[in-house]
Amino acid sequence: MSAATEARLSATLVALSDPTRRAILRRLARGEARVTDLAAPFAISLNAVSKHIRTLERVGLIHRKRVGRDHVLSFRATPMDAASAWMDTQREIWTGRLQALDALLQSEDDNALSRTKTKKGDVR
Amino acid sequence: MSQEARATVRVTHRFSASPERVFDAFLDPMKIAIWMLGPATGEAKRIEVDPRVGGLFTFVIERPVNGTAQAMEHTGEYRELERPRRLAFTWGVPQFSAELTLVSLDFVAEEDGKATVVTLVHDGVLPDYAERTQGGWTAILAAVERSLG
């Protein structure tokens, strides 16, 4: 995983660590909503909800657009992030596979070498 | 939302073995059963290869996921077999995605054929990725929720 992806991932995990923020995301995963609608079910101030929304916006999980006087929020996971996550995963997997193959070929060499040695020293 | 994302992964590795030996290891079921696992624990349940252009392969790997064995099937079709220089095949994991990606390997001999540098390129065309990512995120949220009780 690249350093940038890792930093983004940990910022995302921090954003997800709060139950109010997860509730906001679950609501937005069903469809877009205005900030005021979003704040309604929570027993906290609009100001506090706005702060949570800004945290989610910073890690790119929420997108904000202005419609007239309203701020409409939607759940967002960009294709770029998805593609880079795919690349990181595949890179890691293939690196592991090539290393495993390297170890396998080396152990074949070691075995061949020890067989030769055994034969030489074998007095039957 | 429908959007196509293209992603390319490049990995190189230097082997202390001849290009022929490294090339053959990618087509030998006994060896595939080992390198497919990578560093992780697991077991190869079924390895089937038909190494000719147009021939198909299936690698079924079983891994423990949260204490239960989970089988994952990898399938593809050989596209290029130029021993010992180049190998290319399509690559897919049907249970996760219907899309096929393309893997190609170039083998370059070094030290008079005593060593080989392999460059692996995994090229993915990932249509409708945004939609599936959305689904993925919903699943991640659910998992986070469960793990926190």
Q: Are B80 and B86 in contact (CB under 8 A)?
A: yes
ipTM: 0.78
Rounded Cα distance, A104 and B36, in Å:
11
Buried (b) or exposed (e) across B87-116, using 16+ Cβ within 10 A? Answer: bbbbbbbeeeeebbbbbebbbebeeeeebb
For residue A78, the distance in angstroms to the closest alpha carbon of chain B comes to 6
Helix then strand count (H, E) for chain A reads: 5, 3
For residue B39, the distance in angstroms to the closest alpha carbon of chain A comes to 6
**Chosen CATH of A3-75 out of 1.10.10.10, 2.40.10.220, 1.20.1280.290, 1.10.1030.10:** 1.10.10.10
Angle ∠(A21,A24,A30) on CA atoms, nearest 5: 145
Tokens of A78: 């960009």
Buried (b) or exposed (e) across B45-67, using 16+ Cβ within 10 A? Answer: eebebebeeeeebebbbeeeeee
Q: Contacts of residue B138 in chain A, CB cutoff 8 Å?
A: 29
Q: What is the mean pLDDT of residues A54-75?
A: 88
Contact check, Cβ <8 Å, A22/B118: no
CATH architecture of structural domain B5-148: 2-Layer Sandwich (3.30)
Hey, where are the domains in chain B? Answer: 5-148
Report the candidate in B136, B132, B127, B135 with the shortest Cα–Cα distance to residue B101: B127
A41 preceded by a cis bond (ω within 30 of 0): no
Write out the H or E segment, with its range, that includes residue A119. helix A79-121
| Weakest-pLDDT range from A64-73, A115-124, B5-14, B19-28 | A115-124
pLDDT digits (tens, 9 = 90+) for A15-49: 777 888 888 888 887 888 998 888 888 788 888 88
For residue B36, the distance in angstroms to the closest alpha carbon of chain A comes to 6
Q: Which residue of B has its CA nearest to A109?
A: B17
Rounded Cα distance, B140 and A59, in Å:
15
A106 CB within 8 Å of a chain B CB: yes
Could you say which DSSP state residue B92 is in? Answer: B
Q: pLDDT (tens digit, 0 to 9) for every residue of chain B, 149 residues total? A: 434 556 788 899 999 999 999 999 999 999 999 999 988 888 999 999 999 999 999 999 998 877 788 898 999 999 999 999 999 999 988 877 667 789 999 999 999 999 999 999 988 765 444 445 555 555 555 555 555 54
Q: Are B95 and B73 in contact (CB under 8 A)?
A: yes
Q: Are A19 and A99 in contact (CB under 8 A)?
A: no
